[in-house]
């Protein structure tokens, strides 16, 4: 599992531009640094604000974090 192949594609272009005031969802360093906060918001369904992530996307992000955020 890697950021480029598995995690970056989870974030849409509109997610990236909506969130650029806080961090860049297509940047490995930014997503790694904010991983716990990002997971919390997608898991509680408050982000993205226009849809809720399914279990497959959530599980992919959880596994990547548990694996130590491989680039």
**Which spans of this chain sit near ligand HEM (rule: CB under 6 A)?**
11, 14-15, 18-19, 22, 37-38, 41-42, 47-50
Alpha helices in the chain (DSSP H): 13-18, 28-33, 35-43, 55-66
Measured from the CB atom, the residue of 14 and 67 that comes closer to ligand HEM is: 14
> Could you tell me the smallest distance in angstroms from the CB atom of residue 53 to ligand HEM?
7
Q: What is the three-state SS of 9-29?
A: HHCCHHHHHHCCCCCCCCCHH
Q: How far apart are CA 20 and CA 14, in angstroms?
A: 10
The minimum distance between CB 9 and ligand HEM, in angstroms, equals 11
CB of 42 to ligand HEM, least distance (A): 5
């Amino acid at each position: 599992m890697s950021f480029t192949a598995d995690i970056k594609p989870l974030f849409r272009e509109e997610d990236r531009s909506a969130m650029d005031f806080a961090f860049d969802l297509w940047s490995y360093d930014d997503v790694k640094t904010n991983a716990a906060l990002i997971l919390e918001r997608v898991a509680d369904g408050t982000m993205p604000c226009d849809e809720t992530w399914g279990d497959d996307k959530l599980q992919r992000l959880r596994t990547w974090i548990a694996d130590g955020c491989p680039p």
